[in-house]
């Protein structure tokens, strides 16, 4: 890993689009990179994806088709994950909520009527038995107050800058810090590593395919997630993303968890 001269000087600046210092390209700080990545997630969206859980050798895996309803602002996040397939797990749902100053909480619905509350202390548990935790699905580490650059490295022949994010004192997270390998040309994370308070690597998330969303922005479309050392892996294949959708508070309530209808577009 090679540290740039600017990083060594403490300026934490990179050039956008990979141009040389002689160009008229603006330089951008670690905080600006993080802010741009956080802004992409703001607003309301609807996502459909396939989650393939490849368990450790000798254990049975599973495949789920999910829909995600989310509403994100700088102040709070509401996300609802619902199983569409297979039939025996249809309508199994996880509702998560977090404010910028509080710990994440939520509910699990096992149909038809088994509703269980999730506490902040359960955020490290796996989502639908995958390699992702509940905390991963609601937390935006790009919005954390401490952001710095830590050199450059190539990931799958993509030259990336390494962004390190820390939640700071008083934060409600199961992670001590997160390292992200960012493609500065497209502003896409090509790899994310999350570390526990003990310093142990908790999970690695690799982007295996980049595609444009419905607004023409490049986003990670396929992800491979590994957690721990048991050999398991979870692959995520995003098949549909829609922004400019309309949600109400009811959509992110315990009653709304039973509603599998897709949202309506709020604009053209």
3-state SS string for 19-43 = CCCCCCCCEEEHHHHHHHHHHHHCE
Task: Indicate the DSSP class of residue 245.
Answer: B
The span from the CA of 208 to the CA of 237, in Å, is 10
CB 69 within 8 A of CB 252: yes
CB 239 within 8 A of CB 259: no
Task: Indicate the DSSP class of residue 6.
Answer: H
Identify the three-state secondary structure at position 129: helix
Given this model, what pLDDT does residue 177 score? 97
CB 150 within 8 A of CB 162: yes
Given this model, what pLDDT does residue 89 score? 96
Given this model, what pLDDT does residue 19 score? 35
Token pair for residue 163? Answer: 């962004």
Given this model, what pLDDT does residue 97 score? 96
Given this model, what pLDDT does residue 22 score? 33
Given this model, what pLDDT does residue 185 score? 92
Token pair for residue 108? Answer: 């699990």
Given this model, what pLDDT does residue 41 score? 78
The span from the CA of 144 to the CA of 168, in Å, is 7
List per-residue pLDDT tens for the chain, 268 residues long: 322 222 222 223 333 333 333 333 346 799 999 999 988 778 999 999 999 999 876 667 899 999 999 999 989 999 999 999 999 999 999 999 998 878 899 999 999 889 999 988 899 999 999 999 999 999 999 999 999 999 999 999 999 999 999 998 877 899 999 999 999 999 999 999 999 999 999 999 999 999 998 888 899 999 999 997 778 999 999 878 899 899 999 999 999 999 999 998 765 5
Query: What φ, ψ does residue 20 adopt, rounded to 5°?
Result: -80, 165
Given this model, what pLDDT does residue 27 score? 67
Given this model, what pLDDT does residue 267 score? 58
CATH superfamily of 29-258: Lipoprotein localisation LolA/LolB/LppX (2.50.20.10)
| Torsion, CA 142, CA 84, CA 218, CA 95, rounded to 10 | -20
């Amino acid at each position: 890993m090679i540290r740039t001269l600017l990083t060594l000087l403490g300026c934490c600046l990179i050039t956008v689009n990979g141009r040389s210092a002689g160009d008229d390209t603006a330089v951008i700080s670690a905080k600006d990179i993080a802010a741009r990545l956080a802004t992409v997630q703001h607003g309301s969206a609807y996502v459909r994806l396939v989650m393939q859980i490849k368990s450790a050798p000798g254990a049975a895996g599973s495949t789920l088709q999910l829909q995600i309803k989310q509403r994100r602002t700088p102040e709070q996040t509401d996300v609802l994950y619902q199983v569409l397939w297979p039939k025996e797990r249809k309508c199994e749902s996880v509702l998560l909520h977090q404010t910028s100053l509080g710990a994440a909480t939520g509910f699990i619905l096992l149909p038809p009527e088994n509703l269980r509350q999730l506490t902040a202390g359960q955020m490290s548990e796996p989502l639908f038995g995958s390699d992702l935790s509940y905390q991963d699905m609601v937390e935006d580490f790009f919005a954390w107050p401490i952001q710095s650059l830590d050199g450059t490295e190539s990931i799958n022949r993509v030259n990336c800058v390494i962004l390190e994010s820390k939640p700071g004192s008083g934060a409600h997270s199961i992670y001590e810090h997160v390292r992200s390998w960012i493609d500065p040309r497209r502003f896409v994370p090509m790899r994310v590593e999350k570390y526990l308070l003990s310093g142990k690597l908790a999970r690695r998330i690799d982007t295996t395919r980049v595609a444009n969303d419905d607004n023409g922005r490049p986003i990670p479309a396929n992800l491979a997630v590994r957690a721990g050392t048991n050999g398991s892996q979870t692959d995520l294949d995003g098949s549909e993303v829609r922004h400019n959708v309309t949600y109400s508070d009811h959509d992110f309530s315990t009653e709304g968890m039973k509603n599998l209808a897709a949202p309506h577009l709020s604009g053209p």
